[in-house]
A and B are shown apart, each in its own frame.
Chain A
């Protein structure tokens, strides 16, 4: 246990990394020792995935050091990390759909014959061997296209195993696995540990973390919080350390009169994505959909808005049923959706501010089918002022704006349709703190004016600070509905991880 004698195979010291104005990592340190499974836990957005990408050589840290066997090392590209014996299993599988399973596992390092051609026979045998170790049956020659997420994850695991890595990083590897598959993975992980590898395991499932890992590091806001042996911790302590933050002036929530029910969602189901989701939202109310990334929250609101289809259930706006799969009908009924990814889904990045801000109202702003620039510009200017938009000129492309101001353009675009129900998905992701508060104030004011707001957010403080009611989703189901005074960090976190306080204690 004495780290001074044998330097750990991989250690990070004071690593920092920023993306624009967002500081993803602010001085994170981590030490992965041989023969140990190390857990890293933290809220969504705490910087875990960024850290993984630093270890993998995808991101170069702005500051701090990466130590391999105690020596400072620069990972300029993923290949450098691989040479240092680091293998990474990403949250999202990164396979080649057109290549066979065996080739996916051995890509770039296929076994070769003396003539330097690929030894297909050996590649197939090695693949079968690693699958046997993992206890799965998969045809090595089938293409990766069409594999389920769980099977893709298994291929990734097989890939990492055949690398015989000294350091294995697993970023939520079990999110898509069934219990049996996950258990098999843990057996393999323990075998690797016993053979002297250093493992980093990232998971939101506390039962897994506690049963598998030797030490637990808690991170929050891109910074190190604590690192202790698992035996000295319990779930409650870890949860408290993950959240412990003051919820203050960032969330200027005003009390609003709650009016009639505007939106009713009943039994909404999409097979394999979410099931039996029901909720109501009243005028003037802010309802937050909380949960972990991948719990199905965005999928629910996309289905309600009609972007995605659903298999069962009904959606009613002001008592009238909304036809499924028709966003235009939803817009006509007074529903607006500010999507999660503003760059991909919310804006036309190369287009001007005014074009973007008025994109939802081309009809009303045109005469005889022709858009009138003047009305377009006037309307955009009006909304720019109302939302305190900071811009150079209305004809500048939105890509020149900061993240927060881009988000305001998306908001303007939807608010100008005068909706009755507003869906906002991660309204403040990647936005600096000042603008964040502005967006929050805006949402609060809008609710005060009688708008019904459904907010998807992965940031617990935002959920707790803004919502009148919190719906917590876990693996496609609503696991808790909490009123403002019932909801706190721990109750939401427990519901989001599918735990109950009694269970964990």
Chain B
């Protein structure tokens, strides 16, 4: 550590600026492009096999299918980047979906936007509670959100009391939301795209967004740098909750029928989507664009398998293999980057 290495080059001053420019950033972009490419190839190949896959109805279904998962993956990415995880998103989404439905039943006169906002708020409160538990009780997020996963679901069951809300209980304006299209893009998908763009811009361009990366990258250094880490993490959880709430609202609008089991098991798909999209479980790395693309890839696989006449039973195995491939790729890229950086740095360690 202290001894000069065997042959230290004179100093940093001697190192020429790197020709390739920004190796690591380039690698990261490559990572997201890779997922995009995988989606494109999959869609193209499936279309060749059966052109019906890209009929206007097929495209519509594809978009809608990816919507809920993408919104959830974007939220999860926020939390994962701070080196935490939120396993309760499936339950939060379910709670919000049911809450939205029951509001229409209980107060039929409420304007649609108000009810939608209430659905998002339900998620926000759940997420904030997660965040506060994680930051104040200093219990690992994995444990806290595993607990709230069951707690929120239990709450939902108690609230629903075995009942469900049907499409005819909801106003037409709300249900139209799920089927309305702008230039071939279903409205929910447009909302999801807007969310991805907004959160992506926030993470890249705002101090507090960059600080989420800093916290996930080195929590101690974040503290020494005066970053209010607890507040930032709590807010990341709250934002994730709000997005899970939004996902619940979109779910209710699309399917019209909600009971207390909506979103069960969703949390693992969400984490899988984020990881496939290049968001590191260890924190500090990844973008919401990647997470959303990961969600799109997973839903495209789900949609494509029946067309290839592959048994649905294979679905989970394919997803599993994809996660392993993504992790392997990340590790490979990390090693390559490390080698490049060492070689290109001022001098050997």
Using CB atoms and an 8 Å cutoff, list the residues of chain A in contact with chain B.
Answer: 56, 58, 77-79, 82, 90, 94-100, 103, 107-110, 112, 116-118, 135-139, 141-143, 145-151, 154, 175-176, 178, 180-181, 271-275, 294-296, 475-477
Contacts and interface: CB of A to CB of B under 8 A. Distances in A.
Contact of B12 (A79, A99, A138, A141): A138
Nearest to B24: A143
A293 B242 CA distance: 49
B349 A475 contact: no
A90 B221 CA distance: 11
A78 B6 contact: no
Given A98-B213, A107-B210, A272-B3, 9 more contacts: A94-B218, A96-B217, A96-B221, A107-B211, A107-B214, A148-B347, A154-B12, A176-B2, A180-B10
Query: Secondary structure at chain A's binding surface: helix, strand, loop or mixed?
Result: loop
17 contacts: A94-B224, A96-B217, A96-B218, A112-B207, A117-B201, A138-B346, A141-B21, A141-B22, A142-B24, A148-B349, A149-B1, A150-B12, A151-B12, A178-B8, A272-B348, A475-B4, A476-B3
Which of A109, A116, A150, A181 is most buried by chain B, counting CB atoms within 10 A of its CB?
Answer: A150
Given A148-B347, A475-B2, A475-B3, A135 B13 contact: yes
Interface of B: 1-6, 8, 10-13, 15-18, 21-25, 201, 205-207, 210-211, 213-214, 216-218, 220-228, 284-285, 337-338, 341-342, 344-349
Given A107-B211, A146-B342, A477 B284 contact: no
Contacts of A112: 207
A110 B345 contact: no
Contacts of A141: 21-22, 25
Contact of A137 (B15, B205, B223, B348): B15
A188 to B, nearest CB: 14
B18 A139 contact: yes
A107 B221 CA distance: 10
Contact of B224 (A90, A117, A272): A90
A79 B225 CA distance: 7
B171 to A, nearest CB: 37
Contacts of B25: 100, 141, 143
Nearest to A81: B226
Given A271-B5, A294-B2, A476-B3, A97 B11 contact: no
Given A146-B342, A151-B346, A274-B3, A110 B224 contact: no
A97 B156 CA distance: 42
Given A145-B341, A148-B346, A96 B214 contact: yes
A146 B345 contact: yes
Nearest to A94: B221
Given A118-B206, A143-B24, A78 B226 contact: yes
B155 to A, nearest CB: 33
Contacts of A77: 226
A94 B341 CA distance: 19
A108 B2 contact: no
A272 B8 CA distance: 10
A151 B13 CA distance: 11
B218 to A, nearest CB: 5
A106 to B, nearest CB: 9
A175 B341 CA distance: 23
Contact of A180 (B11, B23, B201): B11
Contacts, number: 156
Given A98-B284, A108-B225, A118-B206, A273 B214 contact: no
A105 B174 CA distance: 49
B1 A136 contact: no
Nearest to B221: A94
Contacts of B2: 175-176, 294-296, 475-476
B221 A95 contact: yes
Nearest to A271: B6
Nearest to A119: B205
Contacts of B338: 145-146
Contacts of B345: 146-148, 151
A149 B347 CA distance: 10
A477 B344 CA distance: 29
A98 B27 CA distance: 13
Nearest to B220: A94
B124 to A, nearest CB: 22
Contacts of B218: 94-97
Given A79-B226, A135-B13, A97 B217 contact: yes
Contacts of B337: 143, 145-146
B18 A99 contact: no
A56 B284 contact: no
B225 A107 contact: yes
Contacts of B1: 149, 176, 272-273, 294, 296
Contacts of A95: 218, 221
B35 to A, nearest CB: 19
B5 A272 contact: yes
Contacts of A56: 224
A91 to B, nearest CB: 11
A78 B22 contact: no
A97 B284 CA distance: 9
B341 A146 contact: yes
B3 to A, nearest CB: 3
A477 B211 contact: no
A150 B12 CA distance: 9
Contact of B349 (A103, A136, A138, A272): A272
Contacts of A150: 12, 346-347
A169 to B, nearest CB: 12
A139 B17 contact: yes
Contacts of A138: 12, 346
A398 B303 CA distance: 55
Nearest to A116: B206
Given A118-B205, A272-B349, A476-B2, A94 B285 contact: no
A99 B217 contact: yes
A142 B11 contact: no
Nearest to B342: A146
A215 B228 CA distance: 36
Contacts of B346: 136, 138, 147-148, 150-151
Contacts of A139: 17-18, 21-22
Contact of A94 (B6, B207, B225): B225
A142 to B, nearest CB: 6
A180 B347 CA distance: 14
Contacts of B201: 117
A100 B21 CA distance: 12
B223 to A, nearest CB: 7
Which of B2, B25, B210 is most buried by chain A, counting CB atoms within 10 A of its CB?
Answer: B2
Contact of B17 (A97, A137, A272, A295): A137
A118 B17 contact: no
